Chains A and B, each alone.
Chain A
């Protein structure tokens, strides 16, 4: 998950500032803006699309959009075909 191109859609309308999305991110992609009481999606280019933030959000504010084509297991498939 190095050169991913995933996106995180965030709809602040229903956000209650519970911080669960921030806590859920186990690789520090999401930070917390204490003043606005909202998440900051600071390092999205590192998002490994585990979707734990999305699962945690009780208000449905988050949608992780996965770019499957950007991923690679780095197996040299073409070498064998």
Chain B
């Protein structure tokens, strides 16, 4: 079994409490980092090439390097919105190991020169938010947060900010708008948040899992990190497996682990001997893979080559007993509900497609309906303000293409 990084403490009962966490070697990374120069940390992070775990896979060190050295406050926003259907990994990190995330937050903030961080957590995770708040208050008490942390002269405040039910607020610029107290409508980019972000100030936005990797990178070095997973895509991922498997749950494995093995070995194979039909490999926004396409390493580039994406590494397993029309219905229902309504192709397109699919599911569809779905989805693709439009169009197009025969048989 490969060595665990993020979930190494999950078997321990009280590691969410600071005393137990410190007993396990916790906060050593912060101590080490505060003795380094911020530039040294940035250098190491660039070398580690830690790719963002929120979905897009952008290297964290490069992102931090974009923050301009201006005389303005800078902010860190931790993306804990976890709204991508199929995704539940950040919930595990935050509830089992909140201090590992806090260490990542402290080190990132020190490196970039940030004195104020907000953890934007989805509103439904009330219990997790409370746990984070307890962890934060423990960290203040021990001098790991607040003024002059461990006599380093570095100050940092961290607070938890709860969302209120809107998938779009996981998109980084919508998250900023929401945190500022507005409707969660995305902003036009550029300017990118690194230069104009929260309260018009330079801002770093990173996912919970991304940040939680940082303490171990600081302790063990970039070479250790790139030695796990793949050279250009190092470390582990927490794969969340759900759907028709025997053992749904989270599995922390090296990046590049074969999807087939994740399903058959780690997640116990198909539920009650059911047969595999399709897999969504990276959260609902990822195009589907057919049963004969799952012999594939789970890393960003391999999935792009397979015309899908690794996204949030949420694996949804679909069996032959499930109709792809029902899958399509769930997908289109979700996006038509979650479109923020700002741009026309996404607002009208998603709800129109959803209406057609519902009609098809009632047995009132025609061949033209499938063509219409493809036409409408193609007209969303690449024509919207934020990536939600693409995220809606891509899975729809992949189902229409790969399962067209089945859809036609349901007409």
| Pairing of A with B | no
A residues sitting closer than 8 Å to B (CB atoms) are: none
